[in-house]
Structure 1
Amino acid sequence: MNYWLVKSEPSEYGWEDLFSKGEDIWDGIRNYQARNFLREMKTGDLVLFYHSGKNKEIVGVAKVSEEAFPDLENGEDKGWVAVKIKPHQKLKKPVTLDQIKADDLLATLHLVKQSRLSTMPVEKSQFDHIIKLGS
């Protein structure tokens, strides 16, 4: 199993949107590195759901329910992909970006190093630590 983090502005698409739909397509990624990470996602992988924008916090955990398939959002297949995710668990307490930056175990997260990526891998130890912080 692999672990991931996806980012979204909650005013555009937040955790509550995913929760209310029960499952949805994670698409519209137009960064090559993030696209490559989407291609690596496997069914059953766990995904931290991060709200970017004002609050900057991890609020829940989703699960990959369908592996990469062509993202035809703009009607053209240029190698872009999407996956399907579904809500798995809402964190009891959001884990803020400030908490993450202040935590030595989380200092190497792509979220800190490459903050513009919308999809990124997370090490299992970091994932587990974030879940503990959010309990």
Structure 2
Amino acid sequence: MSARRKYWLMKTEPEDFSIDDLQRVGIEPWTGVRNYQARNFMRQMQPGDGVLFYHSSTEVPGIYGVAEVASTPYPDPTQFQKKSKYFDEKSTQEQPRWDLVDVKFVRKLRRGIPLDEIRAHAERLGEDFALIRRGTRLSVLPVTAAQWKLLLSLE
């Protein structure tokens, strides 16, 4: 019996890593998440889960692609690398604090879905949709099956 597929939205700054980069490499470890709530969401991910690939901190923030979780969660190696901007001196190999998953390219959207357009559907997306809730700045957040379907219908 397999678990039901889950859906997620994962934010990235396109100058650091974009949907085009993911298309080029195919699969990439999602390194550098240093927020406990976002990490806890990643710890719930399973291979095959759907990912909305979101570009943040850009002229037109929004959803630009679809990806898929390609691994079970495992310790983020950057937490142990002293020269990494994601180094965490409190993490140890025996007790890592930060996990990641590998993310696999599925497709680029025919057109990006800008944040303003997503906000215009706030009522249909519901109050629990963290992307448009005030004060939420998570880089990884859950998406319901209904929200996933609605968001992709905007493409």
Matched residue, 1:105: 124
Larger Rg: 2
2: distance between equivalents of 1:90 and 1:115? Answer: 25
Given that residues 23 and 107 in structure 2 are in contact (C-alpha distance below 8 angstroms), is that contact kept between their aligned partners in structure 1? no
Are residue 128 (structure 1) and residue 149 (structure 2) matched? yes
Query: Which amino acid in the other structure matches residue 92 of structure 1?
Result: R
SS of residue paired to 1:17: helix
Query: Which amino acid in the other structure matches residue 109 of structure 2?
Result: L
Q: How many residues align?
A: 134
SS of residue paired to 2:16: coil
TM-score by length of 1: 0.94
Matched residue, 2:29: 25
2: distance between equivalents of 1:38 and 1:91? Answer: 23
Q: Which has the larger displacement, 113-122 or 29-38?
A: 113-122
Correspondence for 1:37 among 18, 37, 41: 41
**More strand, by proportion:** 1
Matched residue, 1:118: 139
Q: Deviations over 1:63-108 (max 9, x none)?
A: 0110100112031443210100111121111111101111121243
Matched residue, 1:65: 70
- Please, which runs of 5 or more residues in structure 1 have no aligned partner? none
Correspondence for 2:11 among 7, 14, 26: 7
TM-score by length of 2: 0.82
Query: Which amino acid in the other structure matches residue 111 of structure 2?
Result: K
2: distance between equivalents of 1:30 and 1:21? Answer: 23
2: distance between equivalents of 1:6 and 1:79? Answer: 19
RMSD: 1.2
Query: Which amino acid in the other structure matches residue 130 of structure 2?
Result: H
Given that residues 101 and 107 in structure 1 are in contact (C-alpha distance below 8 angstroms), is that contact kept between their aligned partners in structure 2? no
